[in-house]
Amino acid sequence: MTFSKAELERYSRHLILPEFNIRGQECLKRSGVLVVGSGGLGTPLLQYLAAAGVGRIGIVDFDVVSESNLQRQVLFGVPDVGELKVEVAREKLQNLNPHIEIVTYPEKLTSENALDIIDGYDLVADGTDNFPTRYLVNDACVLLDKPNVYAAIFRFEGQVSVFNYMNSEGERGPNYRDLFPDPPPPGAVPSCAEGGVLGVLPGIIGSMQANEVIKVLAGIGEPLSGKLFIFDTLKFETRILEFDRDPDNPINGDNPRITSLIDYDEFCGINPIPNDMKEITVQELKLKMDQQDEFQLIDVREKYEYDIVNIGAELIPMKNILHEKERIETNKPVIIHCRSGGRSAQVILALEEEFQYDNLYNLKGGVLAWAREIDPSLPTY
């Protein structure tokens, strides 16, 4: 493998490292890394992998840039709002390093496409923010014998680990299911959109994730295999938890029970909205408003979300609504909404089960659908 004069100059600070030198740079150049998610973690990760000279970088993300991303996703700017993240990222990363290849997948990673996409890469870096995709990425990597460099962020804390890593003795390290055998109950861990995140945190953790990727590819140092690194930004404290392979791991333990990719929404308890739940579209709600129909509109998000954007509903946060049921009308239709329709559906199920309400309607798509289809001038988050 040869390097051009421009490449040798670009990577000169790598080449003078005794532990890295030209061999390490060759390892990066011949490697392919798939980055799942180009959000808070993905953007610093992508920038450092591209700058370091990873030869082929794939990006999986179906989302577009929004104003609320700019607080932490520093690869993007105001002119990029509304554009596909993967396309904006490709252009900017190619400008950062024209000597590498960027491949984009503007789609959601699913059980149907994950194996085909991941199979073309040497390593996967998981920067997603939901449990179904984390288990999906893990299982696909185990089935395909690929290392998985994991990172996660929440509010003021970040985590990094390396899963399914094969050491120099040919021993495969633990994976995500060894550390987290079971997903948390639905709604127990809010997403960044619901729970918030300190803007600088993904930059710190994404950079650490990039460091682990480079170490694995170049075969240097001691990757975080069998270790979970945790960083608390408020206290500026770090700790490392060690974990081993679990003989009862369902995908690669002593008696594997998972031999192909499964339905990860079902596994994580994220059930679709029941078919018999009464729903209303944002167009139907707009018509009711225009006709001044009699109904009650309730928003079950948190107050800080309501302060960002609201559509004139009465605010009763999800955590309070079962204790404030007297505020819910019983003699007229009650339309309940949240950001995208999930939390409002949970509220309706709980109210109907505990108090036998029969006049509740879920707003399909929530505030996001209203902003997208009725009033695009509204901010989203």
**Tens digit of pLDDT for each residue in 330-345?**
999 999 999 888 889 9
Residue 193: what pLDDT?
Answer: 65
For residue 274, what pLDDT is reported? Answer: 75
Q: What is the DSSP letter of 79?
A: G
Better pLDDT: 216 or 195: 216
Count of C-beta atoms within a 10 Å radius of residue 376: 10
Break the chain into its structural domains and give their ranges.
31-267, 279-373
Q: Give residue 236's pLDDT band: very low, low, confident or very high (50, 70, 90).
A: very high
Indicate the residue type of 40.
G
C-alpha–C-alpha distance, residues 338 and 137, integer Å? 28
Q: What's the angle, vertex CA 205, arms to CA 266 and CA 250, rounded to 5?
A: 30
Mean pLDDT of 65-87: 93
- Which residues are catalytic, by number? 192, 338
Split at pLDDT 50, 70, 90, the class of 187 is low
Q: Are 109 and 133 in contact (CB under 8 A)?
A: yes
How confident is the model at residue 189, as a pLDDT?
A: 65
Q: Sorting pLDDT into bands at 50, 70 and 90, what band is 68? A: confident
Asked if residue 183 has pLDDT above 80, the reply is yes
> Distance (Å, rounded) from C-alpha 215 to C-alpha 145?
18
d(CA 117, CA 109): 9
Per DSSP, the three-state class of 98 is coil
Phi and psi torsions of 139, nearest 5° = -65, -40
Please tell us whether the domain made up of 31-267 is placed in CATH 3.40.50.720: yes
Asked if the model's pLDDT at residue 209 lies above 70, the reply is yes
**pLDDT of the residue at 337:** 96
Neighbours of 35 (CB within 10 A): 30
Report the C-alpha dihedral over residues 97, 100, 104, 108, rounded to 10 degrees: -90
CATH number of 279-373: 3.40.250.10
pLDDT band at 186 (very low <50, low <70, confident <90, very high): low
pLDDT, the chain, mean: 93
Give every CB contact of residue 67 below 8 A, 6+ residues apart in sequence: 78, 81, 379, 380, 381
Question: pLDDT tens-digit profile of 269-300?
Answer: 776 677 789 999 999 999 999 999 999 999 99
Q: What is the pLDDT of residue 239?
A: 97
User: With helix as H, strand as E and coil as C, how does 291-347 read?
Assistant: CCCCCEEEECCCHHHHHHCCCCCEECCHHHHCCCHHHCCCCCCEEEECCCCHHHHHH
Lowest mean pLDDT among 10-14, 361-365, 377-381: 377-381
H/E segment holding residue 266: helix 264-267
DSSP 100: S
Q: Give one word for 147, left, alpha or beta, with left for phi > 0 and alpha for psi -120 to 50.
A: beta
Provide the 8-state DSSP code for 183. P
